[in-house]
Structure formats: structure tokens, C-alpha cells
A and B are shown apart, each in its own frame.
Chain A
Amino acid sequence: QKEVEQDPGPLSVPEGAIVSLNCTYSNSAFQYFMWYRQYSRKGPELLMYTYSSGNKEDGRFTAQVDKSSKYISLFIRDSQPSDSATYLCAMSSMDTGRRALTFGSGTRLQVQP
């Protein structure tokens, strides 16, 4: 079993829809949680960074963390065709010194005009 599980999709939604992307994890040592967006053949772009359980909002994006259920989510409101990309969840532990990120396999999102 992978440490971080993510549905690969593809997820296809109409423009303007609310998108929900999710990851589950098994390692209770994970304390930091991130969402990255990756366009085809490009490097990942950091969208959201959270530490505590609860919600964090930034524009159209809301990140949600539930440490008790080992479950994180990213919500995208008013989705746009330009949001079409692969979304990667990533997490890391408080391991002293090293800050290696463990990624999910990514969910491919397509927003139809």
C-alpha cells in the first residue's frame, strides 16, 4: 500500500463547477500538507501549504485537512478551463533535518468550456 493514495482521474467538469480533489494517507507522522498544480511537461507549482487541521482559503482555492481521518482535500470554486492540469497532493513529516515530500500520483482535471 502506498503512503499517499490519490485517485488518478481523469475528472471532467463543466466550467464554473466546484471541484473536489482528495488524498488519503497512512503515515500519522505527516504534519505538513501541500497541493501542487502541474501542467503538461512542466514543473509542479505550489498552490496551498497547510499545517494544522481545518480549512485554509486562498482565492478560489480551499485546502482542508482532517488529521484524525488522514484525509486532505482541495476545493476549486468557479473552475476555469485554465485550471485543467494534474493536481498533486504532497506531505512531509517533522523528521528532524530532512524535509522530503511524499507525493500522491496526481489527479488529472479537465474543465470543459
Chain B
Amino acid sequence: ETGVTQSPTHLIKTRGQQVTLRCSSQSGHNTVSWYQQALGQGPQFIFQYYREEENGRGNFPPRFSGLQFPNYSSELNVNALELDDSALYLCASSRVLSNEQFFGPGTRLTVL
């Protein structure tokens, strides 16, 4: 069984740029959630995708957007990057609307 994978591993961007992060869900899972984890903090929920539609969003501005594809993989897009966007971005997959979420290794984003 293949686990959750994310790409890239690390990314460095400058303020104002745009970034796209990618996630492949674990086999058999059709729900994908994205979280932001600042240094020394717990992950914070950004949004969740189910059946290719956003299924709930946390307290993040519209410049954070996403997509889910028919194969259940997902993208997180962040526009107009700010210094505070520097964090570990985590993708988690689960069976349909299950609370048991399995995380990928994350993408570490640094905004300069």
C-alpha cells in the first residue's frame, strides 16, 4: 500500500510570488486535507477536498486555493506569498469523510 506522497520536499520563493504544492493520496483514500504547520506549532487546517470539490475551509484567506483531480491527487496553490507563509505544508488523506487522516512528509516552504 502506497502512502501519502508530496512534492517538492523543499521550496524557496520570494515575497509576492506564487507557489503550487502537490500531493498524492494513499491508495483507497478519496479525501484530501491540507494543513499548515509553523515552526513549534501544531498543524492548522487549511481546507479539505472530496469529490473534486472544496469540503470545508479553515481560517485562511482566498489566496490559498486548491484542486483535487479524478485520481484523488491534489494541489495547493498560494498566491502573493507573504513572509508568514513560511511553514511546513502537510497533506493528509483519508477514506470518505473519515477522521483517521494519514499525513505525507510535507513540503517545507521558505519565503524570503
Q: Check if A and B associate.
A: yes
Chain A residues proximal to chain B, CB less than 8 Å? 4, 6, 8, 32, 34, 36, 41-46, 49, 88, 90, 92, 95, 97-106
- New A-B pairs, 6, CB < 8 Å, besides A45-B103, A101-B33, A105-B41: A8-B40, A36-B103, A97-B56, A98-B48, A98-B55, A101-B92
Given contacts A100-B58, A105-B41, contact A44 B98 (CB under 8 A): no
Does A100 contact B103, Cβ atoms closer than 8 Å?
Answer: no
Given contacts A43-B90, A98-B56, contact A49 B106 (CB under 8 A): no
Does A99 contact B41, Cβ atoms closer than 8 Å?
Answer: no
Number of interface residues of B (CB under 8 A): 31
CB-based A-B contact count at 8 angstroms: 73
Does A100 contact B105, Cβ atoms closer than 8 Å?
Answer: no
Does A100 contact B33, Cβ atoms closer than 8 Å?
Answer: yes
Q: Give the distance to chain B from A81, nearest Cβ to Cβ, in Å.
A: 22
Q: Which residues of A contact B58 (CB under 8 A)?
A: 100
Q: Which residues of B contact A44 (CB under 8 A)?
A: 43, 90, 103
Given contacts A97-B56, A98-B55, A99-B97, contact A42 B44 (CB under 8 A): no
Q: Which of B43, B44, B45, B99 contacts A49 (CB 8 A)?
A: B99
Q: Which of A41, A88, A92 contacts B99 (CB 8 A)?
A: A92
